[in-house]
A and B are shown apart, each in its own frame.
Chain A
Amino acid sequence: MEYFLELFLGGMTRGSIYALIALGYTMVYGIIGLINFAHGEIYMIGAFTALITASVLTIFGLNPFAILVLAGLAAVVYSSAYGFTIEKVAYKPLRNAPRLSPLISAIGMSIFLQNYVLLAQTSDFMPFPNLIPEFAFMEPWAHIIGSSEIVILAVTAVAMVLLTLLIKFTRIGKAMRATAQDRKMAMLVGVNINRVISVTFIIGSSLAAIGGLLIASHIGQINFYIGFIAGIKAFTAAVLGGIGSIPGAVLGSFVLGWTESFATGYISSDYEDVFAFSLLVLILIFRPAGILGRSESKKV
C-alpha cells in the first residue's frame, strides 16, 4: 500500500510538471491551431536560465530564498521572451500558409534552439542545485513524498487557479476565448489578434519555465535535450485530455503521469517512454478528440 501511495504521488508530481508544459501546447493550439513544437525547448531554456542565474548569484553569495525567487523570475522572463520572439520570427509570417508550413517551421525552431544551447553551453548533463529546501514538518512522510514534490504540487495548483481566473474573468482572457472560438469573428469585433497570440505565447512559456525550474531542481540535472522528451510527453498529455481544452490538459497530464509511474513501478523501468508513446498512439486511434475534447466536424 505504501508503495502504491508512493507511486501515486510520484505520478501526480510528474503529472503536475507535464500539466505546466501541456497548458502551453493546448493554449497555443486552441488559438492558432498549431502544435508549437519548440515549446519543449522553451522549458529547457527556462531551466538553463534558472541554473545560470542561480550559479552566478550563489557566487555573489545571496541567501537561498532570494536565489530561488530571482532564478525563478529570470526563468519566467527569459522563457516568455523566447516564446514571444519565436512566435514573431517563425510562426507569424506563416499564419495564412498551408497547415504543414508552420509545423515544419516549428520543428526547425526546435532543432535550432536545441543546438543553440548545445553549442553555447555544453552537451553534458549539468548538475542543478536543489533550490527547494527540505521542510522539517515533512519529516514523518519523507519516505513517501519529498518536500520538493509537495512544492511542485502546490505551485502547480496555484498556477492552475491563477490561469483559470485569468481566462475566466479578465479582459484579455475573454479576448483569448473569443479568438479560440473564431479568429476572424474576433478580429471583426475589435480584438487585437496579434496581441492575444503574443500574450498566449507569453503565458504558456512562463508556465513552462516554472515547470522547468521545478523539475530541474527536483531531478538535479539538466541538459540541452530535456525539452524534447518532456515536450513530446506534455503534448501527449494535452492530446490525451483533448487538445485545446485547459482542464483536459491537466487531466491528461495526471493520467499520463500515473500511467508512467505505475507502469515503471510495476512492470519495467526500461520502457518508460514506450508506455507514454503507446498511450498516445492508442488514444489517438480510439478517441482522437481526447478525454474531454469535442470532435469537430468540418463543414464544406
Chain B
Amino acid sequence: MFFVNEIKKSLLISCWFIFLTFPIMVIRINPYEEIVDYRWNNLILVGVGSFILSLVGRAVQRRREKIGQNDTDQTAGSTFRIATKMYVPLVALSVLVICCFPFVFSTYQTNIMTTALIYVVLGLGLNIVVGLAGLLDLGYVAFYAVGAYSYALLNYHFGLGFWTVLPIGAGLGALFGILLGFPVLRLRGDYLAIVTLGFGEIIRLILENWNDFSFGPSGIANIPRPSFFGMEMSLQAATIYIYFLMVGLAVFTVFVVNRLQHSRIGRAWIALREDEIACQAMGIDKTKTKLTAFALGATWAGMMGVVFAAKTTFINPASFTFLESAIILSIVVLGGMGSILGVIIAAFILILLPEYLRAFSDYRMLLFGATMVMMMVFRPQGLVAPRRRCYQFRKTDDPAAGIK
C-alpha cells in the first residue's frame, strides 16, 4: 500500500512537470519561417525523468529522516574520510601522477590539467571568503580579471615580465578586494552578495567599454608566456613549464590556506561565519577580520589572473562573466564550504568531467545549476565535510588519571 502511494505521488509530480515544461521543451518556433516543430519525445523524457527523480529523491529523504532518528551526527563527513594509514601511499601516488602527467599525456591534456589546477587555486581562494568567513562573494571573477589585465597591460605598456607581475597582480587583487570590501562590509550577507555581483559586472563592463584603457571587447593578444631565466622555449616546453608552475602554486596555496585556516585569523573567520554578534562580543574586530578575508581571497584570484593571461596569451572581457564566478562558487559549494580537500576534488570533477565527456559539455552549466540546488537540499556540507579541530578525550587505564 505504501509503495502504491509512492508511485501515485511520483506520477502526479511527473504529470505536473510535463505540464510545466510543455511549451519550452516541446514547442520550438522558427520565427523567420513561421514553422513550429513539436518535439514530443522530450515530453516522454521529462515525464520518465521526473518520475524517477521524485521516487529517488523521496527515498533519499526518507532514509535521511530514519538516520536522523537513530543517531544525529554520524553521516556528516563519513564519505571520503581516509584512514590515516592510507595517507602516505596516497600522497606518494598523487605526487607520482602529477610529476609524470605532462610526459605521458599530450600537450592538450596538460593544458586541461593546468586549467583544472587554476580552478583549484581559485576555488581555494574563494573558499577563504565564502567557506571560512561566510561572506558570499558573487563577483570573485572581478579580481581574476584584475590580475589578468594587470599582466596584459603592464606587459604591453612597460614590458614587465611574468615574474615581476605575479606579485604585482596578487597585490592589485588584494587592493581591489580591500577597495570593494571597505565600504560594503557593513552589509548583511545577502546584500553583500548582490553588491559583489554588481561590482563584478561593473569591472567587466568597464573593461568592455573603455577602449583606450583595455582595448574593449576585442581584448589583448600576444601576451608572452612566462620565461625561465630568459630561455626560449618551444610551445610544448612552455606548456609543461606552466603546468609545473601551476602545480607549485597549487601546493603553495594549499599550504598557506591550510596554515591560515588553523591560525588565529582563520578561527576568527569561522567564528564570524557562525555568529557575528557572539564573535564581536569575544573581542574580534569584525571589519578587520572581514577585510583580511576579502583581501586574501582576492590575492589568489589576482595571482591566477596573471597565470591565466600568461597561459592563454590572449584575454578579453568575455572570459570574466558572472558564469565564471558561478563556476568557482559551485566548486566551493560542491566540495564543501571550508574544506580544502573537498574543494580540490570538486575542482577536478567540475573542470575535467565536461572536458572528457564531450557529449555532456553542452549540459555543463545546466548541471552546475542543478548541482548547486541539489547540494544545498541534500548535502549542504559538501562532498567532503570540513572537520573542525577539537579536543579528543582518551580513556586511560587508570580511572583516576582523567580526574586529576
Contacts and interface: CB of A to CB of B under 8 A. Distances in A.
Q: Do A and B make up one complex?
A: yes
B68 interface: no
B195 interface: yes
Contacts of B20: 78, 81-82, 85
Contact of B16 (A35, A85, A271): A85
Interface in B159-201: 183-184, 186-187, 189-191, 193-195, 197-199, 201
Given A52-B24, A112-B373, A281-B195, A59 B34 contact: yes
B23 A49 contact: yes
Contacts of B329: 104, 107
Contact of A52 (B29, B202, B326): B29
Contact of B373 (A34, A105, A126, A270): A105
Contacts of B331: none
A288 B34 contact: no
A100 B134 contact: yes
B376 A97 contact: yes
Interface in A101-147: 101-105, 107-122, 126-127
B377 interface: yes
A280 interface: yes
Contact of A101 (B23, B368, B380): B380
A115 B365 contact: yes
B277 A104 contact: no
A291 B319 CA distance: 36
Specify which of B184, B330, B365 lies most central, judged by the most chain A CB atoms within 10 Å of its CB: B365
Interface residues of A, number: 66
Nearest to B183: A285
Instruction: Report the contact-size class of chain B (Cβ under 8 Å from the partner).
Output: 35 or more
B42 interface: yes
A74 interface: yes
A278 to B, nearest CB: 7
A114 to B, nearest CB: 8
Contact of B369 (A51, A112, A280): A112
Contacts of B40: none
A55 B369 CA distance: 30
B191 A111 contact: no
A108 B376 contact: yes
Specify which of A101, A118, A274, A288 lies most central, judged by the most chain B CB atoms within 10 Å of its CB: A274
B313 to A, nearest CB: 27
A104 B333 contact: yes
Nearest to B136: A100
A108 B25 contact: no
Nearest to A92: B377
Interface string A235-251: 11001000000000000
B104 interface: no
A122 B32 CA distance: 14
A71 B272 CA distance: 50
Contacts of B24: 45, 48-49, 52, 116-117, 120-121
Interface in A233-275: 235-236, 239, 270-271, 273-274
B371 interface: yes
Contact of B376 (A59, A94, A281, A298): A94
B376 A102 contact: yes
Contacts of A117: 24
B36 A113 contact: no
Contact of A74 (B21, B23, B330, B365): B23
A99 interface: yes
Contacts of B195: 280-281, 284
Contacts of B25: 120
A94 B376 CA distance: 8
Contacts of A113: 369
B205 interface: yes
Contacts of B3: none
A228 interface: yes
Contacts of A112: 366, 369-370, 372-373
A285 B191 CA distance: 10
B401 to A, nearest CB: 40
A239 B209 contact: no
A232 B197 contact: yes
Contacts of B205: 271, 273-274, 277
B207 to A, nearest CB: 11
A271 B24 CA distance: 33
A113 B373 CA distance: 12
Contacts of B105: none
A59 B138 CA distance: 43
A188 interface: no
Contacts of A109: 369, 372-373
B28 interface: yes
Contact of A116 (B28, B193, B366): B366
Contacts of A281: 183-184, 195, 198-199, 202
B353 interface: no
Nearest to A34: B190
Contacts of B190: 34-35, 99, 103
A104 B36 contact: no
A89 interface: yes
Contacts of B31: 55, 126-127
Nearest to A273: B205
Contact of A55 (B34, B187, B330, B372): B34
B206 interface: yes
B19 interface: yes
A204 to B, nearest CB: 17
24 contacts: A35-B194, A55-B29, A56-B36, A59-B36, A90-B376, A100-B130, A100-B134, A100-B136, A104-B333, A107-B372, A108-B368, A109-B369, A115-B365, A115-B366, A117-B24, A120-B24, A232-B194, A232-B201, A239-B191, A271-B205, A277-B201, A284-B191, A284-B195, A285-B183
Interface of B: 16-17, 19-21, 23-25, 27-29, 31-32, 34, 36, 42, 130, 134, 136, 138, 183-184, 186-187, 189-191, 193-195, 197-199, 201-202, 205-206, 209, 277, 322-323, 326, 329-330, 333, 362-363, 365-366, 368-373, 376-377, 380
Given A78-B20, A85-B20, 11 more contacts: A35-B193, A85-B17, A90-B377, A107-B326, A108-B330, A113-B369, A116-B366, A126-B29, A271-B205, A273-B205, A280-B198
Q: Which 8 A-B pairs have the closest CB atoms?
A: A108-B372, A112-B369, A111-B369, A277-B198, A115-B366, A105-B376, A108-B373, A270-B209
